[in-house]
Structures are given as C-alpha cells and as structure tokens.
Amino acid sequence: MGLETAHTAGGAPAGQQDPAPPPPDGGASRDPLVLCALLGLVLLDALTPWGWVPLANGTALLAASGLYLGRITGGGRWFAWALAAGSAALALATQIPLADVLTAATNGGQVLGFLLLVEVLGVALQTGRYDAGLTGLLARGTPGGASRLRAASIGCFVLNLCGLFMGAVPAAFYALGGKPGRADLPLAIAATRGFGASALINPVSPLVLLALAGSHASLSAYLASALPVAVLLLVLDGVLRGRQEPEPATPLPAAARQPWLRAQTLGCAAAVLAAAPIYHVAGAHGVAVLPRIGLAVCAGGLGLGLAAPSRFATRLRALPRERFLSHRDAVPFFTLGALFGTLLVGSRVLDPLLAALSRLHMPLLEFPLIVALIVGFRWLGLAPVISLLILGPLFAPAVSLSPTVYALALTFGGVAGFLGSPLSGTNLFVASVSGVSPFHIALHIQGRYVATAVAITSIYAMGLTRWLG
C-alpha cells in the first residue's frame, strides 16, 4: 500500500521466479485488463490537454475502487472502508461538484500509474540479474554477522539509488541469505533503514521531486542539505544496532557473490540513453512529476532489458498477468486516499492548523510537526507521496522554514511514514518474512529509531534555517 509496495521492482529472491498469480475468482481474470485500462487513462490524462480525460480517468478509478474494495482482506479492509466513508461524508458536507470529485481522484491514479510503469524496471532487473549483481559488489568479502547487516543497509541504500525503489528491500534481504523467520528480522530491519536513508537523496525519487515541487527549493541546495541527514540515518542504525547482541556469522549464499557482467554494463548505458531524453522532453511539455518519472523509469527498464533480451521479452508479455495484480488491492487506497486528502483540504478543516503554523515561527517545532502530520496521514492510509502531493503546497505559505528545509521536512516525513507506520509496504514486507506483527515493528522496533532521528534532524533543521537566513 502506497509507494512502498513490497513487490515493486524486484520482489522475489534473486534467482527465483515471481510467485504465480492467484487463480481466477469472481472476475479476477479480467483484472489485468482493468489495470492496463487504468494505466492507459492515467497516461492519457498526463500527456493530453483534453478536458474529458480527467473526468473519464476519475470515473474509472472510482469504479475500480468500488470493484476491489470488497476483495481487500485483513486489517487494511477497515482502513479502506474508513477512507470511503470519510470521503463520502466530506463530499456531502462540502457539496463539492462531481467534476471536482472526479478530478481529485486522479491524484491517486498518478501513484498507481507510477507503480505499474516501474514494474517494467522490476522485470528488467530480475531477468538481467542486476539486483544480485549490485548486491554482490557490496557483499563481496562479507563473512556475516554485523558486517552482513551493514551490507544489507548499504546495499539497499545503493540499490534504491540505482532505481529499485521499494524493491531494494526484498532484493537486498534475499541476496544476502535472508530466510523467513524471526532469526533474520535484524537483516530485514537493516535493509529498510538503508532504503529510508537513500530515499532522502535519490534525485528521481517521487518523494524528493514532489517535495521540491511543493516547496520550490532547488535540487542542488536540497541534496546538499539532505546528504548529512542520510548519513545520520545510516550511522544511527549502526549505533542502535551496536547496543544489541551481535548477530552470529552466517555464510552468504552464492547468489550474493554473483559477478557484474558486461551485458549488464551495456544495459545500464542503454537505460541512461533511453530514460534521460524522455524525462527531459516530458518535463519540457509540462507533464506532472509522477507520470514523468514513471515514463523515464519504464524507458530505462526497456534499456536494461537488453542484457537478456529473449528472457526479458517473455517476461514483459506476462507483465500484466504476473505483476500488475500485486497492485490490484492498492487501487482503492490510492484513489480514496487522494480523494479524502483533497476533500479534507477543501473542507477547511485544516485551517486552524494552518493559522497556528503561520503564528508559530519556530523551526524547531515546525519541522517535527510537518513530519508528524505526514506520519499521521500514513496511519490513516494515505501514501506519503499522496500526502506530499496534497499537503506540500498547502503548508508552504504557513511555515517559517526556508524552502530547502521545508523540502527536507516533507521528504523526511515520507521516510518516517515508510518506517513508522504498520501500513507501509516496508513494514508489511518485514512482517511477512519474520512473522512479527507490523504494529510491533512500527512502534517497538522502528519507533525508537524514528523518534531519535526526528529529534536530531529537527535540531539540524533549526541550525540550517538560521544559517540559510
């Protein structure tokens, strides 16, 4: 749920095939076609100026949300129904026009479209063995124990920067010999924290680009300010881990020592040549941030697929059936989350908070407050990218933080939402492989780490604000 979907960009263990899709039930055999149609409408909405397209896109997203709402199981079902009820109540209370309701739903479609496009990259990374090759470069010479955890953290950090996004967590976990069970819980936790640190400074991360769009900060100034925080997160993980009992040494599997091949180098060059022009041209024509990144990443995935063209073509044909289905249940969360957030802003419920922020003028309190709001919305079921998309421009005029520090608060809030919420894909993945409750992981395991990082980073943000004037 959210941008943190556990299967994105390489969810299976290195060297293994993705699990087979579930058998058809109650019309599930049509789900790949429905998801492909939604992706087509999202792209048409992003690339054309036609006024009817957003209405058709919003109608299709809401219809698909209603179709899939009843299929969600577990605790997430109650969150989805709560979002639906809250959205309906806000729409009735504010008497917002139907056209505006449909347009608001399209914000969630941008996130869904991004995740579906990124699956092309996931297929390329698996068929070309990039995930195991990249992790192998970092794991070489790692005997196990604490150095194995460092390899997971740093490896996930690098894999995310290379474009695996949330797929970096399972890729690093499995490539370093992670196995289901509580014994490898520290390995999974180390991978999630490495992912969080790299999400702060990944220049093509949706979190970073949406934060820059909402704050009007420059990329260079932001990266210079965020880099010390990313290093802090890695160091803090090591410090907190050092107070625990050392993990026994575990020999790494052969998959973690796979060499980097010439075909992979050529694939990387092709990916850059394919992605860079598309990103530039789409930006020049005013395409929104998330569709622009998704199209560029998809083009890069096509370039990476040249490392194993025949296997890649076979897997690409099966993409809707095998990998799009993992995002089916997320359609209501993205659509209804975006609708709820947009209606909440339009209802002026947040006006007292905005007024309080405009009178506060205390960076030491404003920074953690912005982070807490994004984490709180994540607990309500809103993905961090949706929170940044809606709340980023809303809070910008009310805070006294400089644009650079405000952008850092937004991205740091997104990372804290990844790590500090039981609904995030990162913690759901850790829960699935360890058997530990996602609430226990979010509150008891990640909670102290997130709280400590927020406190230190808030002091850093206050000093940065004074330094930047």
Distance CA 325, CA 212 (A): 31
At 379, the pLDDT band (50, 70, 90 cuts) reads confident
Q: What is the pTM of this model?
A: 0.77
At 241, the pLDDT band (50, 70, 90 cuts) reads confident
- Work out whether the CA dihedral 416, 417, 422, 424 comes out positive or negative: negative
Confidence at residue 15, expressed as pLDDT on a 0 to 100 scale: 39
Distance CA 418, CA 433 (A): 17
Confidence at residue 14, expressed as pLDDT on a 0 to 100 scale: 37
Confidence at residue 36, expressed as pLDDT on a 0 to 100 scale: 95
Distance CA 382, CA 423 (A): 9
The first and second tokens of residue 238, run together, are 């090591």
The first and second tokens of residue 55, run together, are 């209405």
Confidence at residue 7, expressed as pLDDT on a 0 to 100 scale: 42
Confidence at residue 131, expressed as pLDDT on a 0 to 100 scale: 60
Residue with the larger pLDDT of the pair 255 and 417: 417
299 contacts: CB under 8 Å, gap ≥ 6: 271, 274, 275, 278
At 261, the pLDDT band (50, 70, 90 cuts) reads low
Place of tokens 């850059």: 272
The first and second tokens of residue 230, run together, are 């990313």
Neighbours of 63 (CB within 10 A): 13
Distance CA 457, CA 249 (A): 33
Confidence at residue 32, expressed as pLDDT on a 0 to 100 scale: 92
Q: Name residue 440's amino acid.
A: H
- Whether pLDDT at 41 is above 90: yes
Could you please report the per-residue DSSP string of 379-426?
Answer: HTT--HHHHHHHHHHHHTTT--S-HHHHHHHHHHHHHHHHHH-TTSHH
pLDDT mean over 87-105: 88
Residue with the larger pLDDT of the pair 25 and 310: 310
CB 14 within 8 A of CB 130: no
Q: Name residue 382's amino acid.
A: L
Instruction: Say what percent of the chain tops pLDDT 90.
Output: 28
CB 460 within 8 A of CB 453: no
At 45, the pLDDT band (50, 70, 90 cuts) reads very high
Mean pLDDT in the chain?
82
Residue with the larger pLDDT of the pair 54 and 176: 54
List, for residues 322-370, the tens digit of each pLDDT value.
888 888 888 998 898 889 888 888 777 788 888 888 887 777 788 999 9
List, for residues 273-305, the tens digit of each pLDDT value.
888 899 889 988 889 888 988 898 899 889 988
Residue with the larger pLDDT of the pair 104 and 250: 104
Per-residue CA distances from 349 to 4, 93, 111, 336, 376 (Å)? 28, 11, 25, 18, 15
Place of tokens 């909440």: 344
Q: Which long-range contacts (CB under 8 A, 24 or more apart) does 464-469 make?
A: 464/225, 464/402, 464/404, 464/405, 464/408, 465/363, 465/400, 465/401, 465/402, 465/405, 466/363, 468/402, 468/404, 468/405, 469/402
Nearest to 168 by CA among 183, 148, 190, 184: 190
The first and second tokens of residue 56, run together, are 């058709």
- Whether pLDDT at 16 is above 50: no
- Whether pLDDT at 152 is above 90: no
